Amino acid sequence: AARTHWLFGDQLGPRFIDPRHGGPDRGAPLLMIEARSVLGRRRFHRAKAHLVLSAMRHRAAELGDRVRYVRADTYREGLREALRKGERLTVHAPTSRAAAAFVAALDGVEVLPARGFLTSREDFRSWAQGREEHGLRLEDFYRRVRRSHTLLMDGADPAGGHWNLDHENREPPPRDRSRLPVPPPWRAKEDAIDEEVRRDLDRWEREGSVSFVGRDGPRRFPATRRQALAALRHFIEHRLPTFGAHEDAMLADDGVLSHSLLSSSLNLGLLDPAECVGRAELAWRSGSAPLNSVEGFVRQIAGWREFVWQLYWHFGPDYRHRNELGHRAPLPDWFLELDADAPDARCLSTVLAQVRDTGWTHHIPRLMVLGSRALQDGWDPAAVTDWFHRCFVDGYDWVMLPNVVGMSQYADGGAMTSKPYTSGGAYIHRMSDLCDGCAYRPSDRTGDRACPYTTGYWAFLHRHRDRFAHHPRMARAIHTLDRLTDLPEVLDLAARRGTAAP
């Protein structure tokens, strides 16, 4: 008889049960376990808890009699309840080290290859071999994926003659507009399953078994394959054409700009990366989207997302504890509580409000507003990682660790990125309208109106002067630091405002 196949909560698309794609036995009975202890362990954003439960329950409803849906305290308890003694199981490789270890320790389980990504571990290993000495860099890996998957290729050459069109994709937002002139993004409509989820979350909160941060609004993100496909279609038609130019820009009244909002659907397994990049390429080939936008989008998914997935496994189990800069400050309470009224800097307050209300912001606010604040103020990188994981609808262990420990907090000392991502207020001012009406001036580094990002930037460089003095991409900044005649005042101000001591 066919073995039972266990579906984790981020394995919800058709590929995860398809025997033609290395999936379970044909017609295998399916098992899903909703483990409440996962929610009880940490304070997740309520919109995230809602989305994950809603997506799991929608999938179970679609699969009908074929699936046994068990509500239990833990996975172990769920398995005990669902399986007969000695019953054998298959499962696709889970996406976190903890779940992988749990599954590996079970008797009678066959672990099938991971799904939901374009590249395999073996692929990556053979690419990484011999490269590590000089650092593993995205650009090189991305080109290999483009070639091996024939993505945006004209024969052996990149379509349009260039691999990288980033230089066309760093435009600030148009100054005279508070929104990009594109239709609003696809929005979910809630149904009876969402109502049930909301009732359960309310009850558990009342009983005190779980506690959340953030506001629970109507669900915004897709919970089913059908919804995810509708969101993808809507993005390709309405936002992809303008995705590239303003990819790095931020607007106070338009947090989405031309971003796809597809990360949660990809990470739940509702969309497959191949279909996302395939449809984007088709849009270019049929003339409905320009190459800089399409290449930018393909780079995010076939480049960054794959790279991050592979690095999670490649860097090993100790990576989560890396703290090369020795940052140990705790996160302030207002940050933990998503209290957007607390920070005076308008950029931080605006972005924090967006996280509180939606559980999502695009890449640049994550990196250059939230992450940069943490880096400048010397917050403990493991606590920062935990915060991002809990507060973002698309946050999972595999995607958080490289993005936060590596890219955002430089806690791996540069294994993932060639320099720390942080800047003074001038960058935020150039790339957004968030400085308009702010209590601080991006150009000021001393005095009452000095921008916290500007003072924080110099204080950060000063703190790590020795490390960066001969760094190829940082030495110039250190040189400028050395010429600041008012540095003592800057450091004094940064210290009074709470920037971590050396």
Site string for ligand FAD, 347-386 (x = CB under 6 A): ---------------xx--xx---x---------------
Say if residue 203 is exposed, middle or buried (CB neighbours under 10 Å; 0-12, 13-18, 19+).
exposed
For ligand FAD, the closer CB: 78 or 290: 290
The rounded distance, in Å, linking the Cα atoms of 306 and 308 is 5
Task: Report phi then psi at 193, rounded to 5.
Answer: -65, -40
Q: In the chain, what is the greatest distance between 2 CA atoms, to the nearest angstrom?
A: 78
What is the per-residue binding string for ligand FAD in 400-439, x denoting contact by CB under 6 A? x--xx--xx-------------------------------
Least separation in angstroms between residue 28's CB and ligand FAD is: 29
Per CB under 6 A, which region of 20-28, 159-167, 278-286, 396-404 contacts ligand FAD? Answer: 396-404
Phi (first) and psi of residue 458, to 5 degrees: -70, -35
Least distance to ligand FAD, CB of residue 56, Å: 18
Instruction: Choose which of 146, 259, 327, 462 interacts with ligand FAD (CB under 6 A).
Output: 259
Q: Which of 169, 224, 267, 292 binds ligand FAD (CB under 6 A)?
A: 267
Of the candidate spans 82-90, 207-215, 260-268, 438-446, the one that interacts with ligand FAD by CB under 6 A turns out to be 260-268
Span interacting with ligand FAD, options 74-82, 143-151, 298-306, 346-354, rule CB under 6 A = 298-306
* Binding residue for ligand FAD, selected from 301, 416, 461, 494, defined by CB under 6 A: 301
Supply the minimum distance, in Å, between the C-beta of residue 256 and ligand FAD.
7
Residue 31 bridge partners (DSSP): 6, 68
Pair of tokens at residue 73: 């305290």
What minimum distance in Å lies between the beta carbon of 381 and ligand FAD?
11
| Region binding ligand FAD by CB under 6 A among candidate stretches 28-36, 140-148, 262-270, 487-495 | 262-270
Shortest reach from residue 182's CB to ligand FAD, in Å: 13
Two tokens, residue 155:
């024969």
Q: What are phi and psi of 432, to 5 degrees?
A: -155, 175
Among 213, 261, 382, 493, binds ligand FAD (CB under 6 A): 261
- Take residue 278 and report the two structure tokens written for it: 């395939």
Strand partners, 92: 112
Question: According to DSSP H, which parts of 213-305 are helical?
Answer: 225-238, 240-243, 263-267, 273-285, 291-298
- Ramachandran angles phi, psi of 241, nearest 5°: -55, -30
Q: What backbone phi and psi angles, to 5 degrees, belong to 126? A: -70, -30
Measure Cα distances from 213 to 45, 234, 276, 356, 396 in Å. 5, 30, 31, 8, 17
Provide the token pair at 181: 């002139």
- The Cα–Cα gap between 163 and 182 comes to 27
CB 325 within 8 A of CB 410: yes
Q: CB nearer to ligand FAD: give 69 or 313.
A: 313
Distance CA 173, CA 433 (A): 8
Class of residue 190 by CB neighbours under 10 A (exposed 0-12, middle 13-18, buried 19+):
middle
Minimum CB distance to ligand FAD, residue 291 (Å): 17
Least distance (Å) between residue 420 CB and ligand FAD: 12
Neighbouring C-alpha atoms within 13 Å toward the C-beta of 263: 20
Query: Smallest distance, Å, CB 369 to ligand FAD?
Result: 10
Both structure tokens of 271: 């969309």
Q: What ranges make up the beta strands (E) of 142-271? A: 153-154, 157-158
Tokens of 163: 């691999």
- Interface pick for ligand FAD out of 257, 262, 348, 355 (rule CB under 6 A): 262
- Options 15, 58, 305, 373; binder of ligand FAD; rule CB under 6 A: 305
Contact with ligand FAD (CB under 6 A) among 308, 352, 415, 490? 308
| Residues ≥6 apart with Cβ < 8 Å to 113 | 22, 92, 93, 120
Among 8, 44, 142, 304, binds ligand FAD (CB under 6 A): 304
Least Cβ distance, residue 286 to ligand FAD (angstroms): 20
Which residues are 385's β-sheet partners?
none
Is there binding between residue 9 and ligand FAD (CB under 6 A)?
no
Residue 132 CA to residue 70 CA, distance in Å, equals 44
- Closer to ligand FAD by CB, 90 or 300: give it: 300
Instruction: Measure the CA dihedral 331/332/335/337, to 10°.
Output: 110
Q: Any contact of residue 17 with ligand FAD (CB under 6 A)? A: no
Pick one of 53, 91, 245, 266: the residue that binds ligand FAD (CB under 6 A).
Answer: 266
Annotate each residue in 205-244 with x if it binds ligand FAD (CB under 6 A) or - if it does not, as one string. Answer: ----------------------------------------
List the one residue from 169, 300, 350, 454 that touches ligand FAD (CB under 6 A): 300
| Calpha distance 265→394 (Å, rounded) | 8
Minimum Å gap between C-beta 400 and ligand FAD is: 5
Establish if 292 lies at the interface with ligand FAD (CB under 6 A).
no
Nearest distance in Å: CB 404, ligand FAD: 5
* Interaction site with ligand FAD (CB under 6 A): 259-263, 266-267, 300-301, 304-305, 308, 362-363, 366-367, 371, 388, 392, 394-395, 399-400, 403-404, 407-408
